[in-house]
Amino acid sequence: MKIKVGFGYDVHKLGEGEELWIGGLHVPHSKGSIGHSDGDVLIHAICDALLGAANLRDIGFHFPDTSSHYKGIDSKILLRRTVELIKEKGYEISNIDSSVCLEKPKLKDLIPEMQALLAKVMEIDPEDIAIKATTSEKLGFVGAQEGVTAYASVLIQKPCK
């Protein structure tokens, strides 16, 4: 079995009146992510981790923010395509461990729904997706509620030939 590890990170500025999408869910809040797509930091971090593990470059290479095709796109579509790309190389997802850093709103009650939704998109067991939520203790741009960050580690595998 060939096993590879990937790491992803994403950050988005928060703005008044924008929609906040995290883990494929719309999160009610007065501020939302500003981005070319829907600005879902968690999905973007997972995509980057998967692409990196499979040595397929990064999310910006496959889904450039200079393309009008991806303007406002639902990040679940990008995640589905990312999973297809790693499957084309013979890999399957073993597990994902991720963290979202956001001062407000609190995400803990939404995590099970995010896990179920992401598992469906990636066609894996929700038990194979860990999502943690934290704050930055009011420090930095996250603490000032100016932005949101997400980190993801993934393990992918394929049979040896």
Which residues line the annotated binding site?
Answer: 10-12, 36-37, 44, 58-60, 134-137, 141
| Position with higher pLDDT, 71 vs 15 | 15
The whole-chain average pLDDT of the chain stands at 96
Q: Mean pLDDT, to the nearest integer, of 3-27?
A: 97
Domain residue spans of the chain: 2-158
- Does the structural domain 2-158 have CATH classification 3.30.1330.50? yes
**pLDDT range class, residue 16, cuts 50, 70, 90:** very high
Q: What is the pLDDT of residue 3?
A: 97
Sign of the CA dihedral 138, 34, 25, 53? negative
Q: Would you list which residues are annotated within the binding site for a divalent metal cation?
A: 10, 12, 44
For the chain, percent of residues with pLDDT exceeding 90: 91
pTM given for the model? 0.97
